[in-house]
Every structure is written in C-alpha cells, then in structure tokens.
C-alpha cells in the first residue's frame, strides 16, 4: 500500500533520533567502562627509560632523585629556602692548601644563600711565601668582601683543623692578630659538626649523614638525638705521611661503620676530591650533583687516588649509593650559621 508523504514525514524524525543517539550511548558506555578521562595513555606517561625515586614522608619532603636505567645520570631536585631580609656575612678560611673566602646572605632563621666564593692557591705551605705575602693575600680577600657590601663587623676568619697541623699556621695566625682580627681555630670534631650544619637539610636529619673529605683529614658526621656526632679519619693527602692505602681503607671503613643504619639513605658530601669528581659530570649550574660509584672515576693523581680510596671505604662500610655533592656548603659557612 502506498504511504502518504505526511506519514513518511512522521516516521523520519524517530529514525533520525535513533541514528544520532546510538553513537552517543555507545561512547558513554565506553567512558564508564574504560574511564578514559582518568587513565593516561602511554604517549603521555613518563619516559619508560627513566626511573624516579621520590621521598615520601609525613611532612612531604620536596627532595627527589631521578636516574635513567643505565645509572649514567642522576639528579637531586632539592631547593633550600631562600633567606628573607638577610644580611651579608663573610669568612676567610685558612685551609691546608691556602686561603678561601665565602660571602653569604643569611637571615635570622639561618636560611642562607651563597653570594660569592673564591678559592685561592697560596704558596704558604710550600715555604715560598713571606709574611708580606700572607698579609697581601688576606687584605685582598677582605677588600673583595667590602666591595660586595659586607660590613667589617661581619668579616670572620677561621683556620681549619687540617691547616693547624702545618707549621706555618702559627705565622698566619700571628699576622691576623696583628691586623686586629680574631682567629677562630676548630678541631676535627667541631669541623665535622659545622660541615653538617651547612650541608644537611633539616628534612634529612633522620635519614642521612655528612662526609667532608679534606686534604688534612676526613670528617664523617650525623645527627644523634639532640646533638651531632662527628668522627675523624685520614684526609686525601695521607700519602704524604707514607700511610698505606689498605690501612687507611680499613681505618675509614671502621669509622664510617659507626653511622647508624637508619641514616645511610643519603650522604651529603663536600671537600676537594668530591669537588673534582662532581666537576667531571656537572649538569650546568645545579646546586647539587650526585656522584657516581668510586669505580667510575680515574685516580691517576696521588690526591685523587687517595680520596677515591676514602670514598670507596665509606661506600663499602655504609652501603649508601646516593652521595650528593653540595657546590655551595662548607664547614666555614657552618661557622657563620652558628653565630648569634
């Protein structure tokens, strides 16, 4: 029977509605079943070649480390708090190899940031420097601090424990006093505690320790209760004292084994040899560089070879595989942080 045009017109609208609605119903079912808005497609996920290690704790620590699957690149993404309404403070450090100076901006809450750092290789310990050389070297560092805006009352001097073992330290100390400055002497234990004060973030107090591999000695320290424990071992120039590598390794390993097991997750490390290691693979100007395993470095020079022996002993004793070199911190800055 032929259908009138008006009847066909009445049938077309339901058919069109069904045709339009069917795909929408199917799509809605797919969304509910697969939850596509809450799942991430592979193309937007992290690179499968990257492995991320994130610190999780009750106080949501911001520190993270990342590395690729070959272990060739690791980064430590931690940003210390910036000082607020801080004041410039400077310190000249007489170390075992010469004069160094540092200027920091520090506020009342002891938050700080480095403003300048100068490392000088004086000839004091080679027997070629005179008292005039010492005076001129010190005056140069002091003048540079004044130029940066440091007030005279905020300029300090410190002689490292390693430098105190050198005969000419007495001459340096005498010259400083003649110039009207107070000379601060530190013991190895104090030096270890000061290094910890500058390099260890508060969020790592319960899970990390600190190592300072100096030329004259090595300091290993960690938070212990309400205080700090620090132990001393030979420094990277122990070869000058004709000490055997095996004996130093055993001695360092014995001291490093005292680090509590729960504080071996990370080691914050500073010192001359760690500086040389980190400098080989620093990625730009980051504050922190994670060192590679001891076997990844070449120890051709005597000091580097000795330092690597110390580093190897510490890794062997603690089992720690995350040694974070801090490009800004040192025990001298720790001294400034301890001032009222």
Beta-strand runs (E) in 154-312 = 155-159, 183-185, 208-213, 217-224, 227-234, 266-271, 288-290
Please report, to the nearest 10 degrees, the dihedral formed by the alpha carbons of residues 39, 43, 44, 47 taken in order: 120
Residue 31 pLDDT more than 70? no
- What's the helix, strand, coil split of the chain in %, to 5? 40, 25, 35
Residue among 159, 175, 91, 168 at smallest CA distance from 124 = 168
Name the segment(s) of the chain with CATH classification 3.30.420.40. Answer: 87-185
The token pair at 170 is 């007495």
Nearest to 218 by CA among 172, 301, 274: 274
Tell me the CA end-to-end span of the chain in Å, nearest whole number.
106
CB burial of 68-77 (b: ≥16 within 10 Å; e: otherwise) equals: eeeeeebebe
How many whole angstroms from its chain centre is CA 282?
12
d(CA 112, CA 88): 10
Average pLDDT over residues 42-69: 37
Position 302 scores a pLDDT of 95
CATH 3.30.420.150 residue ranges of the chain are 188-330
pLDDT for position 119: 77
For all residues of the chain together, what is the average pLDDT? 80
Q: What integer is the mean pLDDT of 75-88?
A: 92
pLDDT of residue 51: 29
Asked whether residue 73 carries a pLDDT value surpassing 90, the answer given is: no
The predicted pLDDT at position 137 comes to 75
Express each pLDDT in 236-286 by its tens digit: 999 999 999 999 999 999 999 999 999 999 999 999 999 999 999 998 899
Q: What is the pLDDT of residues 148-161, one digit of tens each?
A: 999 989 999 999 88
Q: What number is the average pLDDT over the span 131-152?
A: 84
| pLDDT (0 to 100) of residue 58 | 34
Mean pLDDT of the 31-52 span: 33
CA quadruple 103, 107, 112, 115: dihedral, nearest 10: -30
Query: Is the predicted pLDDT of residue 28 greater than 50, yes or no?
Result: no
What does the pLDDT average to over 298-326? 96
Fold held by 87-185? Nucleotidyltransferase; domain 5 (3.30.420)
Q: pLDDT digit string (tens) for 209-243?
A: 999 999 889 999 999 988 999 999 999 999 999 99
Answer yes or no: is pLDDT of 74 > 70. yes
DSSP structural state of residue 46: P
Four-way CATH pick for 188-330: 3.40.50.10490, 3.40.50.300, 3.40.50.1000, 3.30.420.150: 3.30.420.150
pLDDT in tens, 165-198: 877 778 888 888 888 888 899 998 999 999 999 9
**Who wins on pLDDT, 97 or 19?**
97
Residue 322 pLDDT: 96
Confidence of residue 121 (pLDDT cuts 50, 70, 90): low
Dist. CA 275–CA 296, nearest whole Å: 15
pLDDT of residue 30: 41
């Amino acid at each position: 029977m032929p259908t009138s045009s008006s009847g066909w017109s009445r049938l077309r609208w339901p058919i069109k509605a069904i045709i339009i609605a069917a795909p929408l119903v199917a799509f809605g079912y797919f969304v509910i079943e697969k939850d596509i808005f809450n799942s991430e497609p592979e193309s937007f996920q992290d690179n499968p070649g990257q492995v991320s290690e994130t610190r999780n704790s009750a106080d949501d620590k911001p520190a993270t480390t990342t590395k690729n699957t070959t272990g060739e690149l690791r980064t430590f993404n931690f940003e210390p708090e910036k000082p607020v309404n801080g004041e410039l403070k400077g310190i000249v450090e007489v170390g075992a190899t010469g004069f160094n100076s540092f200027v920091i901006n520090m506020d009342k809450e002891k938050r700080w940031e480095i403003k300048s750092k100068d490392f000088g290789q004086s000839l004091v310990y080679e027997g070629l420097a005179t008292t005039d050389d010492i005076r001129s070297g010190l005056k140069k560092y002091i003048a540079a601090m004044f130029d940066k805006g440091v007030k005279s009352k905020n300029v300090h001097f410190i002689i490292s424990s390693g430098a105190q073992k050198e005969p000419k330290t007495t001459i340096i100390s005498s010259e400083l006093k003649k110039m009207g400055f107070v000379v601060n002497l530190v013991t190895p234990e104090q030096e270890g505690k000061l290094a910890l004060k500058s390099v260890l973030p508060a969020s790592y107090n319960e899970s990390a320790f600190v190592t300072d591999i100096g030329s004259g000695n090595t300091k290993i320290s960690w938070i212990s209760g309400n205080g700090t424990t620090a132990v001393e071992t030979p420094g990277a120039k122990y070869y000058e004292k004709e000490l055997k590598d095996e004996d130093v390794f055993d001695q360092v390993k014995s001291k490093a084994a005292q680090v509590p097991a729960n504080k071996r997750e990370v080691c914050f490390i500073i010192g001359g040899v760690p500086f040389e290691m980190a400098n080989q693979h620093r990625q730009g100007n980051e504050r922190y560089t994670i060192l590679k395993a001891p076997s990844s470095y070449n120890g051709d020079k005597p000091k580097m070879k000795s330092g690597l022996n110390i580093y190897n002993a510490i890794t062997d004793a603690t089992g720690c595989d995350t040694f974070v070199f801090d490009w800004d911190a040192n025990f001298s800055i720790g001294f400034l942080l301890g001032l009222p």
